[in-house]
Every structure is written in structure tokens, then in C-alpha cells.
Amino acid sequence: MDNQDKWTEIILQFMEVALHEFLYVWKVYPADAFELRSMYQLPVHMCRHPQLSNYLFSILTGCRPWIQSGQLRRLSVHLLSERRAVLRVMHFEPNWRNSSSQSKEANQVLIHLEEEFRATLIAIAATPHTRSLEDTEGSVHTFQVLAETTENNERKVDIEYVESAWILADSVLKQQVESDHKREIIPVRSIGSASIPIKMELYMETRS
């Protein structure tokens, strides 16, 4: 496994934990559908339902080649009402940076990165309190994940990832994503420093 493979795996692992935690704190599923585990020396909530866990894992598996090549512009989790109105959106924008980490001890880089991941998960857990839903908005009923890439749409899907291949967003959600409604962007956390090869922006979006 080369360095790019290793760091891609680290990004995917963090994003998997972050997706589970985000769904938990926004109560997309009942609390008892999750179990406490320890990750990055922090208690996190992971869904115990195999079907949902496998679904989230397959989403990220499908993103692997885009992340590794730098073609994943952003991964967005849309929280939807029962009528499929978009209530909140969490955006993940992973990227690579040219860093001096190669000259540092690998374990020092990982320690720094774990600190970043811990702080980011804490920030994600705070989002329902900083941007709670208004009574008029309704409650979260389900979610959908969209990936925005920079790749050529004509590129063929690698057979290795065919089971987790992505499809175009449905017309209703696509219309909402591309609508001219006023949007408010709320920064959640930035990951990145000169000592690590990874950078990531996390932010939420509300609409009115």
C-alpha cells in the first residue's frame, strides 16, 4: 500500500464515522439503533443495523477512486422531510495538500490527524444545537447522499465498484439542489495544516 492508498483509507474511515455520527445527532433513526464505540479516543455512535451500515460503507467504497484521484469535489448528506423537502445539508470537501509530512515521523502525523478528527466529530455533534429545525420546517424523515465530482461523465465505471456505482440524483432532489432559494452557509470545521497531507472542509447549508 503506497502513501496515497494509506491516506485515502484514513479519509474513508473518518468519513464513515462522521456519517454515522451525523445521522445519530440529527435523529434520522431512533437512538437505540446506534451503539457506542470508541474511535480516535472519543465515544462515537455507530448504527447497529447491518443494512444501513453496509449502505454507508458502499457509498464510501464507491467514492474511493474519486478521493484518491482528487476528483471528489464534495460529498453532501441531505436531510429530508417526509415530503422530501431539503431541511439541512452537511457538506464534506476532502482534498490533498503538498505537505512536509513526509519528513516527519508517521506516528506524529497520525497523532495530529486524530486530534483533528476528534475536534471535527465534536463539532458535528454540536450542529443540531447551533442550527436546530424550526417548528414550521417539520422533522427529519430520511436522508440522501449526493457526490459531486470533477470527472468526465462518460468515464466507465470500474467493475470493482459496480455494486456501489452512483446514479444521477432524482429530479425532485436535483431541482432543490439547483434552486435559487436563499442559502445560508454555516462553517462546521476545517481540517488541515502544513504537517498533514489531508485537508477537508465541513459546512452546513440551510435554505429559506
Q: Which structural domain range is residue 147 located in?
A: 3-203
In this prediction, residue 162 carries a pLDDT of 39
Within a domain: 208: no
Local structure of residue 153 (DSSP, 8 states) = T
SS3 155: coil
Residue 124: how many CB atoms within 10 A of its CB? 23
Nearest to 95 by CA among 199, 9, 3: 199
In this prediction, residue 157 carries a pLDDT of 40
* Residue 156, C-alpha cell as written in the block: 466507465
CA atoms of 206 and 208, how far apart (whole Å): 7
Q: Tell me the average pLDDT of the chain.
A: 83
The string of DSSP codes covering 70-125 is T-EEEEEEEEE-TT--EEEEEEEEEEE---SGGGS-HHHHHHHHHHHHHHHHHHHH
- Is the per-residue pLDDT at 93 higher than 90? yes
Rounded alpha-carbon distances, angstroms, from residue 69 to 8, 13, 36, 95, 168: 10, 17, 33, 9, 21
For 14-45, the pLDDT digits (tens) are 999 999 999 999 999 999 999 999 999 999 99
* Residue 33, C-alpha cell as written in the block: 439503533
CA atoms of 179 and 94, how far apart (whole Å): 24
Q: What is the CATH number of the domain that holds 128?
A: 3.30.900.10
Q: How many domains does the chain have?
A: 1
Residue 44: how many CB atoms within 10 A of its CB? 20
In this prediction, residue 101 carries a pLDDT of 46
- Is the per-residue pLDDT at 128 higher than 70? yes
For 153-208, the pLDDT digits (tens) are 444 444 344 344 455 555 555 565 566 567 889 999 999 887 888 899 999 998 76
Q: Are strands 198-207 and 86-96 parallel, antiparallel or unpaired?
A: antiparallel
